[in-house]
Amino acid sequence: MTSSLPLRNLGVVALAAAQLLVAVSPLNAQEHTSEEAVRALESRRAEALLRADSDALSRMVADEFVEISRLGQLRTKQDNLRDIASGDLKLASVSYEDLTVRVYGDVAVLMGIANNTGTFRGIPFSGAIRYSRVFVRRDGRWQAVAMQHTPLTALPAVPSPARP
């Protein structure tokens, strides 16, 4: 009789483990799907920027969106859409690399490097930035709510210390 007690406990543990796996699997699948959705949205954003499609961009960005530009300026959704629609901001190329996405429920943080070229009010610009963009999922749809840029510049060469 005592030998059946450990087997019964083993069965309970196995059942609990199986239930835990079933409960966690949808979360991991949902998180993976959310990550893919955010990456796809970022790709569609690049395409819309190149086409100067302010309507598409408007749907991708929440009304309360705020951006800290590479120059440290605060810019809103309205600022960006106005500059794109007017032609003040024209992108000739947009490329992304080293993208990572972290999903926290209905919030996602995308980080990466963007290397864009174009003109802003007739002045050419180019160069890489490291950036982060924060997304919120509302009614099943991801929208950007914040963004921050930091220009990437080459560090000056540091001379090696003199050796005696």
Per-residue pLDDT tens for 67-77?
A: 999 889 999 99
17-58 pLDDT tens trace:
334 333 433 444 555 699 999 999 999 999 999 999 999 999
CATH match of 4-151 with 3.40.50.1820: no
pTM of structure = 0.74
Mean pLDDT computed over every residue of the chain: 84
pLDDT score, position 153: 83
Identify the CA nearest to 98 among candidates 52, 155, 154, 39. 39
The burial class, CB within 10 Å (0-12 / 13-18 / 19+), for 142 is buried
